[in-house]
Amino acid sequence: MKKLFVSVAVVTTLALSGCATPPIPVNYAPSSIKSAAGSLSVSDFSYFPSTPTAPKVVASNQIRNTAMGEIKIDRDVSKFVRDAVFSELRVVGIKTNDSSKVLSGEVEEFLIDDLGYSVDWTLRIKYVLTDATSKKIVFSSTKNTQRNTAKFANVFGALNETIKINIEQLIDDANFVKAIQ
């Protein structure tokens, strides 16, 4: 009886450990062909779905999705998105070493609706530019990106493209460009 119990315990442990997926290593490659001028520094971003006040709390490195399983990346979503914003702004020509204007952001929603025959992506980021001396907010805007991709597309390419499109909405905002001059 004891051998049977141990055997069942070992098999159960092995079966359940197969369900655990390690975090996926991801890299962001800036790819915008836009250009812009101005200067700022990029501060920390936050990730609302990982805060205790979120309707459905997820891990800080988890991108919400609707199908079975979890999508966890190898770093916090807030850091991944912040670094993507920094890289993309620098590539388009914005100087990122001006500590007098500080850009921060809150990732309000990052959802991959992967249930069904296609994938719907939603990325909503609230960007806030603050004057470091006066602590006055000089620009604030929420950019929402929604797109649809094929179910079996290059998921890393789709992830990067979704983030890039959101950042390009910021770069295209005349009020943002004016605020970083």
Residue 136 Cα distances to 25, 40, 97, 129, angstroms: 37, 14, 19, 9
Q: How many domains does the chain have?
A: 1
What pLDDT, on the 0 to 100 scale, is given for residue 102?
99
Residue-number span of the structural domain to which 146 is assigned: 27-179
| Residue at 93 is within a domain | yes
- 174 is a domain residue: yes
84 within 8 A of 167, measured Cβ to Cβ = yes
User: Residue 5 falls within a domain, yes or no?
Assistant: no
This prediction's pTM? 0.88
Please give the pLDDT value at position 15: 39
| pLDDT by 10-residue block (mean), the chain, 181 residues | 44 42 92 98 99 97 94 98 99 98 99 95 99 98 98 93 99 99 98
| Residue 39 resides in a domain | yes
Does 17 reside within a domain? Answer: no
Q: Do the domain assignments include residue 1?
A: no
What per-residue confidence (pLDDT) applies to 73?
98
pLDDT tens figures, 42-83:
999 999 999 999 999 999 999 999 998 899 999 999 999 999
**Smallest Cα–Cα separation from 85: which of 100, 103, 63?**
103
22 occurs within a structural domain: no
Consecutive H or E run containing 86: helix 77-92
CATH code for the domain in which residue 110 is found:
3.40.50.10610
Helix, strand, coil share of the chain (percent; to 5): 30, 30, 35
Residue 21 lies in a domain: no
